[in-house]
Amino acid sequence: MDQLWQKLLAFGSSGSFGGAPEDSVGAFDSGCDLSAGTVAYLTDLLGEAGCTMMLYQTALTHRSFVHNPATSEPVESNQRLEFLGDSVLGLLISDYLFRHFPESAEGELSSTRAKIVNSRSLAGFARTIALGDHIRLGESTDHQNIRGSESALADAFESLIGAIYLDKGLQKAYDFVVRHIIEHGNFNAIVAAEHNYKSRLIEYTQLHHLPPPLYTVLAEAGAEHAKSFTVTVSCNEELLGRGTAFRKKDAEQLAAREAMERIEEQRVSCNNA
């Protein structure tokens, strides 16, 4: 794992992977419209000046700004950078959890990562650094609501990580994640929070006057010391979900999560019908 990390860091500090090409820096920054206040904010946030400020401008550009009538030049929103930042953040958090929670099974690690990188948590991290104050918005939008919007803040936070990765490399992106996520005051509480899909499924069945969920071990595979379990959950003889893990408890949680996701999808479909 350490060797892989070192290789990734080596790639991340080169122009071929995780760094803006040297001949593009001037072109990127020639059209940068960030205010002096935002540039100072970013410099303080990064602990140093950004090399390619246009990347950070894009990271802070909400999609509403793209259609701003006052903007004469083509503008790119932060949606592509958000896509990249989401993947970079997933890698960095996965690496941290893998190293610091050696007793956790894969299902537990996945659940913990999901609690850290979901929109609600990311929006909380973004609020701590007042990121919403620097998002670029279109003139006709409701600035107050968007600056406080969970989705807008989460997108901008991930986009910023994507920009740091491209501008500074993987190690700088990791340093940012450590400072503003892992060392955040709420991080341990988020990790420790119960993400109990079984409890949520029971609450759902009780609320709708349904029989309690029934968990069934469908299959066991592997040697005794490394056996995996496949568990299904059903209600009213209807299959709702399935999960496979090295512990029955984890498999049941995965099955319940699939059930809750299916229930939520059905609810959304009914609302949109």
- Do 248 and 231 touch, CB atoms closer than 8 A? yes
Same domain, 163 and 202: no
Output the domain CATH number for residue 207. 3.30.160.20
Output the domain CATH number for residue 112. 1.10.1520.10
Q: What is the pLDDT of residue 24?
A: 37
Please state, in angstroms and rounded to a whole number, the distance separating the CA atoms of residues 238 and 68. 50
Same domain, 109 and 155: yes
Same domain, 122 and 209: no
pLDDT tens for each residue of 134-149: 999 887 666 777 788 8
Q: What is the pLDDT of residue 22?
A: 43
Same domain, 146 and 202: no
Where does a domain end: 192, 215, 246?
192
Query: What tokens does 34 get?
Result: 């960030």
User: Residues for the chain: how many in total?
Assistant: 273
Where does a domain end: 141, 157, 192?
192
- The answer to whether the pTM exceeds 0.85 is no
Where does a domain end: 137, 158, 192?
192
Same domain, 106 and 220: no
Same domain, 208 and 261: yes
Q: So which residues are the catalytic ones?
A: 86, 158
Same domain, 175 and 215: no
Same domain, 149 and 267: no
Same domain, 238 and 123: no
Q: What is the pLDDT of residue 106?
A: 79
The DSSP call for residue 178 is I
Same domain, 206 and 244: yes
Same domain, 119 and 230: no
The domain total for the chain is: 2
| Residue among 190, 178, 59, 187 nearest 115 (CA) | 190
Same domain, 171 and 64: yes
Helix H or strand E segment including 46: helix 36-46
- The ranges of the chain with pLDDT < 50 are 12-16, 20-28
Domain that holds residue 256: 197-272
